[in-house]
Structure 1
Amino acid sequence: MKKLTNLAVASAIAVVTAGAAMAEGLNVPNLTYRTGPFAATGIPLMNGQRDYMAMLNARDGGIGGVPIEFNECETGYSTEKGVECYEATKGAAIVTQPWSTGITLQVLPKTNVDQIPILAPGYGFSPMADGRVFQWAFNMPSSYWDGASMILNELGGGDLSSLSGKKIALLHLDHPYGKEPIPFFEAMAEANGFEFLPIPVGLKEMQNQSAQWLQIRRERPDYVIMWGWGAMNAGAISEAVKTRYPMDQFIGVWWSGHDADLATVGEAGTGYRSISWSAPQPDAPVMADIRKLVFDAGDSLAAEDELNSVFYQRGLVISMILAEGIKTAQENFDAAEIDASQLRWGLENINLTDERLAELGMTGMVPPFATSCANHTGHSGGWMLQWDGAQFVPASGHLMPDSETIASLEGPAAAEYAEANAPWPVNEDCEG
């Protein structure tokens, strides 16, 4: 944060390199939130995204020899400001990255008209996985319903019937993001006989959750799942420690697995887990390039202690996914400077194999996955990370969601959305 202040926010919203601004390039704006109540989580993510693109510009001259124009438009996580940023940046852009489920839901109908792809890795509206209905939206590599499924599978030891008779609380931000997993949890509770208890946390309650934790003490759930963000995470973790809730029964979604939130309680947070579709790999070859070409060159907004964190390295993965979509489109259309429609095709045809991840120097940073015109998520699965008192460490092998169950919910939810927003274009020709 200090480094960001020193360089000034103005530098953060500028293009990654001055050269990119003067040349024809690939315009990939990012709707960031380096300010506001969620800034603590936004800053390392945005720094990682920015540094990966800066590395590509410095090492490769961009993607396919075309410089990357990576502009930032600050939203403060405000849906209203996010829509304003979308309108302000969409003109020359080949993608939009809304960075909020609320903003995503607002710009979703607009992208059909503007024909610009939304890239919302691991967030947004879970039924966006259905590419037939959501032709311009991508939430790869995992959706919120994937995350909810993996958490329940972990808690049930791979057998959800073992959760019968249990009580599972969902401590969630009272915001579209926090409400995303509720339909999935409700369906699973009904099918498997466990009690589901949603406990909302208002935006003004994030740092004072005494009422919510009083309810948790009274209800005594077997597990608490956290769907938190920003200041809510640190507030919940502090309350859990204060009330002596068993940390090994406290588990969060991937946005509730931020190093700094656990660092505030240190060893007292030992045992807390977070499902994650990314994992930090400090010794990954890509990190050497990032450090040499961006960080040591003085072109990074990140602090030294961010580089190996979960969120910073997740930011790298997010920009890598976008870069792969661009590269795939360039190769297919034999064009270096692609447009938004061509990028949509590229995002629909990503194939991140183990071999490709090794080529990128990112083995172990994200599970392999592939997309298609019908599958805009990839459903890559992930890993359980656990706080050991000082850092997050891997606590599971590669986990996968219950794809069959999720697919059975995605289709009807997507169809319901299309009907509620009729006339809504559907790609009837998409078969796979």
Structure 2
Amino acid sequence: MKHFTKLAVAAALGTVIGTAAVAQELYTPNLAYRTGPFAATGIPLMNGQADYMTMLNQRDGGIGGATIDFEECETGYSTEKGVECYEKTKGEAIVTQPWSTGITLQVLPKTNVDEIPILAPGYGFSPMADGTVFQWAFNMPAGYWDGADMIIQHLEAEGSLEGKKIAFLHLDHPFGKEPLPVMEMHAENKGFELLPIPVGLNEMQNQSAQWLQIRRERPDYVVMWGWGAMNAGAITEAVKTKFPMENFVGVWWAGHDADLKLVGEDGKGYKSISWSFPNLDAPLMKEIKEHVIDAGLSQTNEEEMQGVFYGRGLVMSAILAEGIKNAQENFGTADIDATQLRWGLENINLTQERIVELGMEGMVPPFSTSCANHTGHSGGWMLEWDGAKFVKASDLIMPNVDAYADLIQNAAEEYATSNAPWDRNEECSVSN
């Protein structure tokens, strides 16, 4: 099919380097969490990621003639177990996928020594956007500071935020604290009061104290940076306390269909910013069904496949596959190493035309990366729960990165100084 020809580069590579040089397998381990308090959200994401790579192996014989070993190492979302998984898998890996901001922060200092790219799509440490400092870390297509900015843009489009109060309901974890610098910047510049309300790991399913505070403070909006069981608990409490759902907005990890199905129609109006969308009519979905689902090679089910998180998992693996393909074509070998993959991830150019070729129209916004820009800043859509499913409720919102570019640079410099000696990409300038 036309939209998939660019991924099947084996023939071209065979011409350039000879079939004897074609790799047998590329090891791209995933530090998964199908168990623990975040399993309900982890499972559909892991299923989507695995199914995309399985499709490439089944349909195309992998990428460029190399099959993909997408082994999972179970972390239960535990930072300690995540670091153990990283150490266990790093030997042959060409990439590591930490799947937790906490794990990412622990692995990040190791990157300059181990020289293995971190791929953390839509999560991790926001200053990783600066590829001149974090040469081995990527959080494309959008980072948490992008997400915070897009949410504030959306709220401001409904009217001035001057004098308003925004409650920031967040997991008391590195992930939940990540957007605070941009939220605080906007609060100062736009004149609204920011009210941080942390939720401890042991409070996720019982947030009565937090929602008592919300009832008492009566904020104009609640912005949620939640994950796993926290989201379901918050959405249930919001309905119970009759908080207006149209004024309740979450980050992309707080837009899980199963959480909203717990309240159904009562959740109507709840919104979540998102850099992915489950377009069930996309050609990719038919390819997944033919080569993976019908072949009995997936752990997913029909209901899960229709959700935001399964579709996001597909997008994540598609981004990794693009990086692999880029590296293979540039270096003339299917048997790429971690350093070559870093180049491939620094040269993503997911244009609208390429998205259509991949059969993913409407599933991810266009974006590109460079040696200096490891995030891409793709923008996102505001998704809204219509009582039964999430629908697109906005045009593409682009983050105003210039507004917090200094924050990115200063935080990156501070990190490098604190972790000195810290190797940088001296060949890359911020203009690249």
Alignment match, 1:111: 111
**Is the CA contact (8 Å cut-off) linking 2:166 and 2:222 kept in structure 1?**
yes
Instruction: Report the equivalent of 2:96.
Output: 96
Unmatched runs of 5 consecutive residues or more in structure 1? 1-22
Query: Which residues in structure 2 correspond to 1:316-395 (within 5 Å)?
Result: 316-395=314-393
Give me the whole-angstrom Cα distance separating, in 1, the residues matched to 2:60 and 2:143.
31
Superposed displacement of residue 388, structure 1: 0.3
Deviations 1:275-303 (A, max 9, x none): 00001100100000100110111000001
1:252 alignment partner in structure 2: 250
Secondary structure of the residue aligned to 2:31 is: strand
Secondary structure, counterpart of 2:222 in structure 1: strand
Kindly state the Cα deviation for residue 429 of structure 1 after the two structures are TM-superposed: 2.1
Q: Are the equivalent residues in 2 in contact too, given 1:228–1:255 (CA < 8 A)?
A: yes
Write the distance in 2 (CA, Å) between the matches of 1:140 and 1:405. 19
Deviates more, 1:42-51 or 1:304-313: 304-313
Q: Deviations over 1:45-76 (max 9, x none)?
A: 00000000000000000000111011000000
Q: Are 1:302 and 2:307 counterparts?
A: no
Q: Is contact 1:146–1:406 with CA below 8 Å preserved after alignment?
A: no
Cα shift at 1:184: 1.0
Look up the equivalent residue of 1:138 and give its one-letter code.
Answer: F
Report the Cα distance in structure 2 between the residues aligned to 1:114 and 1:403, rounded to whole angstroms. Answer: 30
**Residue identity in the other structure for 1:96:** T
Counterpart secondary structure, 2:375: coil
Q: Could you say what secondary structure the match of 1:95 adopts? A: coil
* Number of the residue aligned with 1:35: 35
Q: In structure 1, how many angstroms separate the alpha carbons of the residues matched to 2:381 and 2:38?
A: 24
Name the stretch that deviates more: 420-429 or 53-62: 420-429
Amino acid in the other structure paired with 1:397: D
Q: Report if the CA contact (8 A) 1:120-1:140 is conserved.
A: yes
Encode CA deviations 1:175-194: one digit per residue, 9 max, x unaligned: 00000001111111111111
Q: Distance in 2 between matches of 1:170 and 1:193?
A: 15
Q: Secondary structure at the match of 2:235?
A: helix
Letter in 1 for 2:210: Q
Contact 1:122 1:143 in 2 (8 A): yes
1:167 is aligned with what amino acid? K
Q: Show the 5 A alignment for 1:187-226.
A: 187-226=185-224
Secondary structure of the residue aligned to 2:56 is helix
For the Cα contact (< 8 Å) 1:97–1:118, is it kept in 2?
yes
Checking the alignment, whether the CA contact within 8 Å between 2:24 and 2:65 is kept in structure 1 is no
1:280 lines up with 2:283 in the alignment: no
Give 1:184's aligned amino acid. V
Partner secondary structure for residue 142 of structure 2: coil
Shift of 1:428: 2.6
Q: Provide TM-score, normalisation by structure 2.
A: 0.94
Cross-structure match for 2:60: 60
Q: Does 1:406 align with 2:404?
A: yes
**Alignment-derived partner of residue 426 in structure 1:** 424
Counterpart residue type for residue 361 of structure 1: G
The unaligned stretches of length 5 or more in structure 2 are: 1-22
Q: CA deviation at 1:144?
A: 0.2
Matched AA of 2:257: D
Q: Which of residues 263, 266, 273 in structure 2 aligns to 1:265?
A: 263
Aligned to 2:25: 25
Alignment partners' CA distance in 1, 2:403 and 2:95: 30
CA contact (8 A) 1:173 1:202 kept: yes
* Aligned with residue 186 of structure 1, among 176, 184, 187: 184
Write out the 4+ residue segments of structure 1 that deviate beyond 6 Å after TM superposition: none
What does residue range 55-204 of structure 1 map to in structure 2 within 5 Å? Answer: 55-157=55-157, 162-204=160-202
Cα deviation for residue 405 of structure 1 reads 0.9
Secondary structure of 2:224's counterpart equals: strand
What is the CA–CA distance in structure 1 between the aligned matches of 2:375 and 2:271, rounded to whole Å? 24
Distance in 2, Cα, partners of 1:254 & 1:278: 9
Equivalent residue for 1:50? 50
Paired with 2:187 and 2:61, the residues of 1 have a C-alpha distance of: 51
Distance in 1 (alpha carbons) for counterparts of 2:55 and 2:70: 12
| SS of aligned partner of 1:32 | coil
SS at match of 1:384: strand
Give me the whole-angstrom Cα distance separating, in 2, the residues matched to 1:311 and 1:409.
Answer: 30
Give the 3-state SS of the residue equivalent to 2:35 in structure 1: coil
| % identical equivalent positions | 74
Counterparts of 1:187 and 1:330, CA distance in 2: 42
Specify the code of the residue in structure 2 equivalent to 1:415.
E
Paired AA for residue 237 in structure 1: I
C-alpha distance in 1 between matches for 2:35 and 2:356: 35
* Count of aligned pairs between the two proteins: 408
Cα RMSD for the two superposed structures: 0.9
Deviations 1:11-63 (A, max 9, x none): xxxxxxxxxxxx83010000000000000000000000000000000000000
CA distance in 2, matches of 1:377, 1:315: 17
Displacement of 1:158: 7.8
Residue in structure 1 matched with residue 6 of structure 2 by the alignment:
none
